[in-house]
A and B are shown apart, each in its own frame.
Chain A
Amino acid sequence: SYELTQPPSVTVFPGQTASITCSGEKLGENFACWYQQKPGQSPVLVIYLDTRRPSGIPERFSGSISGNTATLTISGTQAMDEADYYCQAWDSRTAVFGGGTKVTVL
């Protein structure tokens, strides 16, 4: 079955840049998207179609794709960005999620 692989954790200082990768053999063929989830809350879409940002999502969130790896970048990370982040893509009419990355802001 299709898998998306993320690092379990990323640590960043306030104001610095956090980068979260998501690798999968069909990324690049199929679009990737990213969700932010804080404890006790539903996921929130922060990037879709590899690079697009929904209205209301701060500009410090950006997405990119290179080969089979999608990357979510948080520039000028703030304390409020501490959360779990999940990538997701479609394959053969099935949605697949990555295992999630916990971003800690020290």
Chain B
Amino acid sequence: QVQLQQSGPGLVKPSQTLSLTCAISGDSVSSYSAAWNWIRQSPSRGLEWLGRTYYRSKWYNDYAVSVKSRIIINSDTSMNQFSLQLNSVTPEDTAVYYCARDREIDAFDIWGQGTMITVSS
């Protein structure tokens, strides 16, 4: 049974960096048939895909245009997890953040529990 467990602080100050980690159990971050995604949800923006990382002989990343200049998604094969860094946050980045798996079905079949992130001083 695949599970994703998110961790990270719930409060971030404006202009600082938001950091979240998603630990994977029951699958591998370096699987050739999976991609590992970050998605956020807010009342104003709805569900918004942020980006993904995946391994196909080497690591690849895709990022949403809206955050491309501020986002980094990394993988850690020793810990079997992946992470999100979002730089220079503003109150508009306040949202529930989810990690999710796409197992080559063009859909997110496994989701983390969600982390409420508030950007406030």
Contact = CB atoms under 8 A, between A and B. Distances in A.
Given A94-B62, A94-B65, A43 B47 contact: yes
B62 to A, nearest CB: 5
A42 B46 contact: no
A33 B111 CA distance: 15
B48 A30 contact: no
A99 to B, nearest CB: 5
Contacts of A1: 65
A44 B37 CA distance: 15
B64 A94 contact: yes
Interface in A47-105: 48-49, 52, 54, 86, 88-90, 93-97, 99-100
A86 B107 contact: no
Contacts of A94: 49, 62, 64-65
Chain A: interface size category: 20 to 34
Given A43-B111, A89-B106, A94-B65, A99 B46 contact: yes
Contacts of B47: 43, 86, 88, 97, 100
A49 B109 contact: no
B107 A48 contact: yes
A89 B48 CA distance: 12
B10 interface: no
A76 to B, nearest CB: 24
Nearest to A54: B109
A95 to B, nearest CB: 4
A32 to B, nearest CB: 9
B113 interface: yes
A48 B109 contact: yes
Contacts of A100: 46-47
A10 B108 CA distance: 24
Interface of A: 1, 30-31, 33, 35, 42-45, 48-49, 52, 54, 86, 88-90, 93-97, 99-100
14 contacts: A1-B65, A31-B107, A33-B105, A33-B108, A48-B107, A49-B106, A54-B109, A88-B108, A94-B62, A94-B65, A95-B39, A95-B108, A96-B49, A100-B46
